[in-house]
Amino acid sequence: MSRLNLTTQRKAILDLIQSCEDHPTAAEIMERLRMNGHQFAYGTVYNSLRYLTDAGLIRELKLGETASRYDGRTEDHYHIVCKKCGRVDEVLSAPPAEWIREVAAKTNYDVHHSQVVFEGVCYSCKHPNA
């Protein structure tokens, strides 16, 4: 995108997502905006999320759930999802370069990007009384 058009609404949504420790859905973003005193229409939020994603300012995560989640971190990283509660955490370790080379060799692709999603059970679900 050549020139950014950060309207007041887009800026508020971007600031909210970049300050999140989690990976909120659009509905959670709407609720948090309301809690912060904003009254944006659903269409405005969804259109702003699409704009910010297309501009590369946020990432849309499709992790096998019905609702997309949004991430303020745009550098390459991966995620792990709890199969019990749906919690999503960051994985900052990169896949081994050998693995990327093997995938490229077996598929005859030039690999430019990878998206890896790990699944498991988080500590809280594993130890509910801890």
Condensed to tens digits (0 to 9), the pLDDT of residues 96-130 reads 889 999 999 999 999 888 888 899 999 999 998 87
99 phi and psi, to 5 degrees? -65, -45
- Residue 97 pLDDT: 87
Where exactly are the structural domains of the chain? 1-74, 76-129
Query: Annotation-wise, does 125 bind a ligand?
Result: yes
Please state, in angstroms and rounded to a whole number, the distance separating the CA atoms of residues 8 and 68. 23
Query: Annotation-wise, does 82 bind a ligand?
Result: yes
Supply the pTM of this predicted model. Answer: 0.77
% of the chain beyond a pLDDT of 90? 62
- Residue 44 pLDDT: 94
Query: Annotation-wise, does 122 bind a ligand?
Result: yes
State the DSSP code for 16.
H
Q: Which fold has domain 76-129?
A: Dna Ligase; domain 1 (3.30.1490)
We find that the CATH architecture of domain 1-74 is Orthogonal Bundle (1.10)
